[in-house]
Amino acid sequence: MILTTVPAIAMEHLTVSYGGKPVLIDISLNIPQGMVVGIMGPNGAGKSTLIKSIMGFVPRDFGTVRLFGKTVDNARGHVAYVPQRGQIDWQFPVTVWDVVMMGRYQYTPWYRSFTSRDRHIAEQALADVRMDSFRNRQIGQLSGGQQQRVFMARALAQQADILLLDEPFAGVDAATERAISALLTASKAQGKTVLVVHHDLETAAEFFDRIIIVNRRLFAYGTPRDVLKDDLLAGVYGGALRKINWNTGADT
């Protein structure tokens, strides 16, 4: 685990476009170590692109991204990524155990077998997401929530300092929501930095220390109390929103 006062993630003037169409424009922010941060905004706002830019998956038009002061290419071992479920081929013939062990590949040269420590870490990751009893199941035979937990376990097995989760709560059952919530709490306690693309404004204050609001540009970044304001959100989301008590999630 890295212990440093340098921001876990630092972006300066990050600008990204697809086919000449701007997706992210001039994003600058610093995320300290040990924060659980939500990324929110309307559909097509660039939330997933922001995550992919941190991973170096998409080219930047302009600007920089640094992880613990290092360039993305020099910090890949510090980052684990859980994509949206729709990006994964669930018919691929691998078991739950195979998927989780993929998290140990970066520590295992091609000429060496997994060690007992690698297997112990994978077993603990499966237990942490309550999927250890499914280790021999083919991933396509699982429910959507179970599949999400398996890929969370893979990320845990990487023992990364930064976790990037793209819509982990989307379409999951109550058991998976509880498992993910517990993972966020445990990761923060371990000093990890977690970024979560999230769509549900009503639960944001429950899950996140800070929230990034984007719609191509950065509209707000701060605590839920500072960011979840009706006038700001109405401007970002393009219209009036149902008024919500942000502390409880209850309609008012």
- The answer to the question of residue 145 being in a domain is yes
| Measured distance CA(129)–CA(176) in Å, rounded | 8
> Would residue 1 count as lying in a domain?
no
> How many structural domains compose the chain?
1
The 10s digit of each residue's pLDDT in 191-224 is 999 999 999 998 999 999 999 999 999 999 999 9
Smallest CA-to-CA distance from 1 within 189, 145, 171, 141 is with: 189
Q: What range defines the domain where residue 230 resides?
A: 9-251
- 81 part of a folded domain: yes
The domain that holds 28 is classified in CATH as 3.40.50.300
| Residues 6+ away with beta carbon under 8 Å from 139 | 90, 92, 94, 95, 96, 99, 147, 150
- Is 237 a domain residue? yes
Q: What is the pTM assigned to this prediction?
A: 0.88
Residues in Cβ contact with 107 at an 8 Å cutoff, skipping those fewer than 6 apart? 118
pLDDT in tens, 124-183: 999 999 999 999 999 989 988 899 899 999 999 999 999 999 999 988 888 888 888 999
In a domain, 94, yes or no: yes
Q: Is residue 4 part of a domain?
A: no
Is residue 2 a part of any domain in this protein? no
Q: State residue 17 phi and psi, 5-degree precision.
A: -135, 155
SS3 state at 101: helix
pLDDT in tens, 107-119: 887 778 899 999 9
Tell whether 181 is covered by a domain. Answer: yes
